[in-house]
Amino acid sequence: MAAAAFDTFQAARALESAGVERAQAEAIAGAIQHRQDYATKSDLAKLGSELRAEMAALEARLTNRFYAATVGLAATVAAFGLFT
C-alpha cells in the first residue's frame, strides 16, 4: 500500500495541546507513523476496480457454463426423443 505523509511533530504537538504529556504524545505519534497496515483512498479505489474486474470474469465464466449445460440438456432431451 502507498505510504501517506504523516507529520509526527504536528501530531505530537496536537496531542500535547490536548493534555497528553510530551513523552507520551511523541510515543503515540511515532507509533502511528510506523503503522503499515492502513489503506489510502487510492488503495481502496484500486481494490474496487480489481474486484469489479474479477466479478465480471466470474460472471462470464458462469454464463458460459450455464449455456453449455443448457445445450447439453437440450441434446440429451433430443437424443431420448429420437430413440423412444
Residue pLDDT, tens place only, 18-55? 999 999 998 988 888 887 677 889 999 999 999 999 99
Q: Which residue has the cell 474486484?
A: 51
Residue 5 φ then ψ, to 5°: -70, 135
CA-to-CA distance for 43 and 30, rounded, in angstroms?
A: 23
Cell representation of residue 2: 502507498
CB contact at 8 A, 81 and 73: no
Question: For residue 80, what pLDDT is reported?
Answer: 87
- pLDDT band at 3; cut points 50, 70, 90: low
Model pTM above 0.85: no
